[in-house]
């Protein structure tokens, strides 16, 4: 994926849109963008098409990573290349030898506000901030080599960066909860037990509805 993105002109300070359903594919896309040297902006495909269009227009991505099922629903006049992660052609794409090294002040991702007071606003977060998060919270999270860590936060919120960056940089094993599992505490508990999740960063309100006996 990083090779394809680089071939489309993605590099330092380039923005790449990511429009994918919740799955490990999102993590693959984010890592591919970072390896190519770019910054990602995640857009939830469940958003109204108008909001998707506003966010992508504001972010000005070089390209958008999505799936074949979702590509047809992207706004008209996007003005960016579209890469489908489930395109068989990606299997024979050129491989990037190593990650493109940026600067601490370079962009790592763009996070948009809810837009409840008007038009959503994008906030650029630097690579240095992500590294600082890893250094500061790695020991706190306790996501050592092989440790199962739950990825619960929406990829459109900052909490997801804690899950992804800190876990993988610490050698942990990321367990991505599906939309169904996020919406049903019973299914979520089953996932935690089945995947031997040992660490989770979630809001207190979720802990209040999970039976401790179901997640020993």
Ordered by where they begin, the domains of the chain are 1-102 (3.40.50.980), 127-215 (3.40.50.980)
Q: Is residue 97 pLDDT above 70, yes or no?
A: no
Q: Which of 157, 163, 166 is nearest to 131 (CA)?
A: 166
Residue, of 102 and 7, whose pLDDT is higher: 7
Residue, of 184 and 114, whose pLDDT is higher: 184
3-state secondary structure of 11: coil
Residue, of 98 and 75, whose pLDDT is higher: 75
Mean pLDDT is highest, among 51-55, 76-80, 112-116, 169-173, for 169-173
Q: Which of 79, 93, 89 is nearest to 35 (CA)?
A: 93
Do 65 and 29 touch, CB atoms closer than 8 A?
yes
Query: How far apart (Å, rounded) are the C-alpha atoms in residues 216 and 213?
Result: 6
Q: Is residue 182 pLDDT above 90, yes or no?
A: yes
3-state secondary structure of 75: coil
Q: Is residue 133 pLDDT above 90, yes or no?
A: yes
The count of residues in the chain is 216
Token pair of 177, please?
């909860």
Token pair of 98, please?
């190593």
Q: Is the dihedral of CA 80, 122, 140, 201 positive or negative?
A: negative
Do 9 and 35 touch, CB atoms closer than 8 A?
no
Given this model, what pLDDT does residue 149 score? 97
Q: Where are the beta strands (DSSP E) in 19-169?
A: 39-42, 63-66, 81-84, 107-112, 122-126, 148-151
pTM tops 0.75, yes or no = yes
Do 36 and 10 touch, CB atoms closer than 8 A?
yes
pLDDT above 90 coverage of the chain, percent: 74
Query: How far apart (Å, rounded) are the C-alpha atoms in residues 199 and 114?
Result: 28
Q: Which of 90, 85, 62, 108 is nearest to 3 (CA)?
A: 90
Q: Is residue 85 pLDDT above 80, yes or no?
A: yes
Given this model, what pLDDT does residue 33 score? 96
Query: How far apart (Å, rounded) are the C-alpha atoms in residues 44 and 99?
Result: 26
Average pLDDT over residues 37-43: 96
Q: Which helix (H) or strand (E) holds 200?
A: strand 197-200
Q: Which of 177, 215, 171, 170 is nearest to 196 (CA)?
A: 215
Q: Is residue 154 pLDDT above 80, yes or no?
A: yes
Q: Where are the beta strands (DSSP E) in the chain?
A: 15-18, 39-42, 63-66, 81-84, 107-112, 122-126, 148-151, 173-176, 197-200
Torsion angle of C-alpha atoms 134, 160, 12, 86, degrees rounded to 10: 130
Mean pLDDT in the chain?
A: 92
Average pLDDT over residues 151-164: 94
Average pLDDT over residues 124-153: 95
Given this model, what pLDDT does residue 95 score? 72
Q: Is residue 210 pLDDT above 80, yes or no?
A: yes
Given this model, what pLDDT does residue 188 score? 96
């Amino acid at each position: 994926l990083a090779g394809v993105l680089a071939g489309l002109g993605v590099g330092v300070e380039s923005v790449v849109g990511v429009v994918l359903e919740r799955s490990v594919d999102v993590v693959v896309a984010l890592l591919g963008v970072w390896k190519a040297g770019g910054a990602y902006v995640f857009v939830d495909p469940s958003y109204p098409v108008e909001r998707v269009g506003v966010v992508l227009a504001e972010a000005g991505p070089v390209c958008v990573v999505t799936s074949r099922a979702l590509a047809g629903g992207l706004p008209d006049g996007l003005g960016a290349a579209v890469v489908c992660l489930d395109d068989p052609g990606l299997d024979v794409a050129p491989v990037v030898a190593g990650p493109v090294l940026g600067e601490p002040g370079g962009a790592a991702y763009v996070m948009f506000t809810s837009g409840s007071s008007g038009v959503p606003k994008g906030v650029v977060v630097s690579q240095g901030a992500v590294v600082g998060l890893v250094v500061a919270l790695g020991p706190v999270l306790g996501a050592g080599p092989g440790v199962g860590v739950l990825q619960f936060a929406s990829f459109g919120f900052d909490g997801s960066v804690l899950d992804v960056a800190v876990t993988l940089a610490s050698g942990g094993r990321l367990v991505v909860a599906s939309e169904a599992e996020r919406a049903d505490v019973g299914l979520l508990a089953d996932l935690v037990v089945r995947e031997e999740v040992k660490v989770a960063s979630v809001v207190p309100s979720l802990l209040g509805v999970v039976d401790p006996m179901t997640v020993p």
